[in-house]
Amino acid sequence: MASYSTNEFKAGLKVMLDSDPCAIIENEFVKPGKGQAFNRVKIRNLKTGRVIERTFKSGDSLEAADVVDVAMQYLYNDGDFRHFMVPDTFEQYQCNEKAVSDASKWLKDQDMCTVTLWNDSPLSVTPANFVELAIVETDPGVRGDTSGGGGKPATLETGAVVRVPLFVQQGEVIKVDTRTGEYISRVKE
Amino acid sequence: MQADWQPTCSIELLHLRAQILAEIRSFFLTRAVLEVETPLLSYSSGTDPQLDFFTTDYCSYPLQQTLYLQTSPEFAMKRLLAAGSGCIYQICKAFRNGESGRNHNPEFTMLEWYRVGFTLTQLMDEIAELIALLFKERASLNATQRINYQDLFFKYTGLDALLFNYDDYCAFALKSQSLDAIELCKTDHNAWLDFIFSHHIQPSLGKNALCMVYGYPACQSSLARINKDNSKVTDRVEIFINGIELGNGYYELTDAQEQNQRFDEEILVRQQNSRPVIVKNTHLIAALDAGLPECSGMAIGLDRLLMVLTSNKHIDDVIPFSLARS
């Protein structure tokens, strides 16, 4: 496997650190005019999601991690695993709950999402930035409210709970930003 | 989206840079400090163990020679001082290979000046006056701070910067979640000082103020003179504003023999770290031998000065074309 020098570190680069696949978030070159050059690097551990800060001597290198993001379609949940498919090749992957983690509450059958593979096995799942899901439960709306000042909780078909404006009714389909978990708009059927 | 032919800094910044250059020249003119020019290309380079240089080839058949782009104009300017130039300054380009980042571009603009007969304290007074002049009516600055390196180091870490106690330093690394330091620095006192200073001290220095740190540990003396009252410290000053290192000054070493010895030591360190081999600058040794007047000298990175003046966070924002667009 190739390796990368600190000079090549940039946001998004995938490297191996302490035997775990990691993604570089930020790389800062630090050098006192008369002193040793360092690279202060912010790295996300792709297995745990934790962000750590590490310092390297400039010129040191890390092994590249075989990590790729692949667009896949979510198929179904068999109780133990969730199954995904690459639409072009029909190749299927199964992910355990740990890899799916928080993404599970946004995953609806047939929806597209991103599966991150490490050495060809699923490491994590990222839902699309925006998803459209039906509301299965929410309190009846208040007549006349169109602004939705305070809002109310609504449970979606995938189990996620988001705050929606008061005028939004049970059974309606809404658009949600999965990165923030915020309601965006109603979707006209 | 900017196209690659376009400058990375604004047109306003070009104007500001021109004004700053004019004010610096006028500052030194009124003080009778002579502006000089020295070669950017030289047959040798500094031996600083932490600097990498650019080389180029001089070709005039049958003569072919490797030339170095200067990492600073220090050696040539000291030769002028030894030749009797009196106080001098220069605004020029300096080149440092491999240095690229938020605060670094491999080619940058430097202001360097030497004051014959000045002590380090007198030089620090002049630095403060120059900075105050350049900031006046452009950005507000709080009162100038002057801090001794040892006191500063103790204040932030509880460690003695002049006395290397490996266990204490490791304990600090544990406490400050800098475990990397233990592996990177091992038992190299210098490396520890660089690590701790750049990670835990420098970012807090000079909050909206000029902060001058003086009295560096002797192991970080470079071309500064060892203090005559305390051989553990060196007469060197570094200046910071908002956590950014702007420049470095010395009460200059005038002893040819000691300079020669430091060159040899630095060349040895370079060899141990497998850095490119370098021949020492014998012209400088000869000039010191002939007699360098007692003097103090300072170098300031003008691009970084423009950064702090305009609160820009990246050097590319204050230079027309960064290396990537050169």
Q: Give per-residue pLDDT as tens, A22-52.
A: 999 999 999 988 899 999 999 999 988 899 9
Say which CATH topology domain A3-63 has.
SH3 type barrels. (2.30.30)
Q: Give per-residue pLDDT as tens, B234-273.
A: 999 999 999 999 999 999 999 999 999 999 999 999 998 8
All residues of chain A having their beta carbon less than 8 Å from the beta carbon of residue B269 are none
Q: Please, where are the H alpha helices in chain A?
A: 97-100
Which amino acid appears at position A102 of this protein?
D
Q: Give per-residue pLDDT as tens, A83-95.
A: 999 999 999 999 9
Q: What is the rounded CA–CA span in Å between residue A134 and residue A112?
A: 17
pLDDT reported for residue B154: 98
- Give me the residues paired with residue A56 across strands: A39
- Specify the domain boundaries for CATH 2.30.30.30 within chain A: 3-63
Nearest CA in chain B to A52: B177
What three-state secondary structure class fits B163? coil
- Specify the domain boundaries for CATH 2.40.50.140 within chain A: 67-127, 130-187
- DSSP line for B224-263: BPBPSS-TTEEEEEEEEETTEEEEEEEEB---HHHHHHHH
CA distance B101 to chain A (A): 5
The residue that leads in pLDDT, B96 or B273, is B96
- Give me the residues paired with residue B112 across strands: B90, B299
Split at pLDDT 50, 70, 90, the class of B21 is very high
Number of H-type helices and E-type strands within chain B: 10, 11
State in Å, rounded, how far the first CA of chain B is from the last one: 18
Residue pair B34/B19 in contact by the 8 Å Cβ criterion: no
CA distance A179 to chain B (A): 25
Q: Tell the burial category of B307 from Cβ atoms under 10 Å away from its Cβ (0-12, 13-18, 19+).
A: buried
Do B103 and A29 lie within an 8 Å CB cutoff? yes
What three-state secondary structure class fits B90? strand
| Averaged pLDDT score across all residues of chain B | 95
- Specify the domain boundaries for CATH 3.30.930.10 within chain B: 11-141+208-325
Q: Does A161 touch chain B (CB under 8 A)?
A: no
A156 pLDDT exceeds 60?
yes
Which of A7, A35, A40 lies closest to B194 in CB terms? Answer: A35
Do B50 and A36 lie within an 8 Å CB cutoff? yes
In a mutagenesis test of the B interface, which of A5, A7, A18, A30 is the best target, namely the one with the most B β-carbons within 10 Å? A30
- Give me the residues paired with residue A68 across strands: A117
Interface confidence: ipTM more than 0.95: no
Which amino acid appears at position A164 of this protein?
V
Q: Does A36 touch chain B (CB under 8 A)?
A: yes
Q: Does A31 touch chain B (CB under 8 A)?
A: yes
Superfamily of domain covering A67-127: Nucleic acid-binding proteins (2.40.50.140)
- Least Cα distance to B42 among B20, B13, B18, B75 occurs for B75
CA distance B177 to chain A (A): 9
All residues of chain A having their beta carbon less than 8 Å from the beta carbon of residue B202 are 32
Nearest CA in chain B to A29: B101
Q: What is the rounded CA–CA span in Å between residue B125 and residue B132?
A: 11
Nearest CA in chain B to A57: B184
Q: Does A42 touch chain B (CB under 8 A)?
A: no
CA distance B193 to chain A (A): 9
* pTM for the model: 0.85
CA A189 to chain CA mean position, Å: 27
Residue pair B13/B319 in contact by the 8 Å Cβ criterion: no
Q: Please, where are the H alpha helices in A24-106?
A: 97-100
A141 pLDDT exceeds 80?
no
CA distance A12 to chain B (A): 17
- Least Cα distance to A180 among A157, A165, A163, A168 occurs for A163
User: Is the Cα dihedral B296, B141, B307, B202 positive or negative?
Assistant: positive
Do A38 and B195 lie within an 8 Å CB cutoff? yes
Residue B215 CA: distances (Å) to CA of A49, B168, B193, B231, B248: 44, 22, 14, 11, 12
Looking at the domain covering B11-141+208-325, what would its CATH class be?
A: alpha beta
Looking at the domain covering A130-187, what would its CATH class be?
A: mainly beta
Residue pair B184/B170 in contact by the 8 Å Cβ criterion: no
Q: Please, where are the H alpha helices in chain B?
A: 11-30, 74-82, 120-135, 149-157, 166-175, 179-185, 189-196, 256-272, 282-291, 302-310
Mean pLDDT of the B298-312 span: 97
B288 pLDDT exceeds 70?
yes
| Averaged pLDDT score across all residues of chain A | 91
Do A31 and B102 lie within an 8 Å CB cutoff? no
Q: Tell the burial category of B248 from Cβ atoms under 10 Å away from its Cβ (0-12, 13-18, 19+).
A: buried
